[in-house]
Structure 1
Amino acid sequence: MKRKFSKTFVVTKAAIDDLNHVNNVVYLQWCMDIAEQHWEERAVQSVKDEYVWVALNHYISYKAASFEGDELVIETWIVSLEGVKSERKYKIYRPKDNKTIVEAKTEWCLLKSETKRPSRVPKEIQDMF
C-alpha cells in the first residue's frame, strides 16, 4: 500500500514568513493540498460523491528550512486503511541537495457524504490506493 503520489513546485513569496523561510503552517497546507489532489486523481466520481475524508490529527517533523525560489518535491502515500481510518504520510524534500525538509503524517476518517457519519473504508477505495 505504498504507491506514492508526488508533485514538484517552486516556493513562492506568499509562503515566506518574517524569518524569510517557509512558514510552518504552509507545510501543513501543502500536505492537505496533496492529499486532496491524490484523492481527486485516484477516486472515481461515484466514490467522491459518496464519501468525504476528515482529518483527525496531524504530526509534522520539521527537518530543515526552505526558502523562496527553492524547488521542492512533496510526496504522499497511504500507510494503512483500516476500519473507518486511514494513515497517510508525507515527505517534502529539496532535490537540489536531497535535503528532507518535512516528514509528516495525518490520520483521516472516512465519512458518508450524505450523513457525515463514519464509514468503514470499502474495498473499492482500498484498491484505489
Structure 2
Amino acid sequence: MELPMPQIDWDWPDPFIHEVTVEPQHIDDFQHTNNVVYLTWMAKAAWEHSKALGLDFAAYKRLNRGMVVRRHELEYLVASHAGERVLVATWITGNDGRLRLRRRFQMVNAETGKTLLRGLSDFVCIDIESGRATRMPPQFIVAYRPTARVEGD
C-alpha cells in the first residue's frame, strides 16, 4: 500500500519535478547523502527540464548554442539517507534574453515533505564550437522564460 504524499510547501508554484532515490553509493562516511550528489541531482533536474522544454543536446548542436553553468550555490538544510525518495524541483527565475539564465532548486523528502536543500545555478549561453559566451538564440529566450518570479534574479 502506497502512503499518501505529504503536503509540500514549495518555494514557488508549479515546479518541474525530477524524482530520485537515495542509493547506497550516494552515502558518505557520515551515513547520509554526500554533498556532491545533491549537485549532480540539480544538474540532472535542470537537464530533464530543458529536454521537457524541447531543448535537448541535439537541439543545442543544431543551434550551435548551449547553456553551461557559471556558478552554483547550495544550502544544505536536512540530511537524506539510503532508500529515501527525493523530489528535486526547479524553476527558471531569471533570463536576461542575452547571455544569462538562473535556475532555483528545492529538494524535498517525498515521505516527510521536509525541505532538504535549496540551491541555485547561474548559466551562460555559449557558442558550442568556440566555447565562448554568445547571445542566446530566440529559441532559448522563448523556451527558458522564467517560471517563477524572484526579486533580483
Q: Distance in 2 between matches of 1:112 and 1:47?
A: 13
**Structure number having the greater strand percentage:** 1
CA contact (8 A) 1:110 1:120 kept: yes
Q: Tell me the number of residue pairs that the alignment of Structure 1 and Structure 2 aligns.
A: 128
Q: Give the TM-score normalised by structure 1.
A: 0.89
Q: Distance in 1 between matches of 2:136 and 2:14?
A: 18
Residue 85 of structure 1 deviates from its aligned partner by 0.8
Q: Which runs of 5+ in 1 are unaligned?
A: none
Q: Distance in 2 between matches of 1:3 and 1:117?
A: 33
Task: Give the equivalent residue in structure 2 for 1:105.
Answer: 120
Q: Which letter does structure 2 place at the counterpart of 1:55?
A: V
Post-superposition CA distance 1:5-50 (Å, at most 9, x none): 2112211001100010000111011111211222223216664112
**Structure number having the greater helix percentage:** 1
Q: Distance in 2 between matches of 1:44 and 1:16?
A: 30
Q: How does 1:1-129 map to 2 (within 5 A)?
A: 4-42=15-53, 43=55, 47-49=59-61, 50-82=64-96, 83-129=98-144
> Following TM superposition, where does structure 1 have runs of at least 4 consecutive aligned residues deviating by more than 4 angstroms?
none
* Structure possessing the higher radius of gyration over alpha carbons: 2
Residue 125 of structure 1 deviates from its aligned partner by 1.3
Q: Give the TM-score normalised by structure 2.
A: 0.76
Q: Which runs of 5+ in 2 are unaligned?
A: 1-12, 145-153
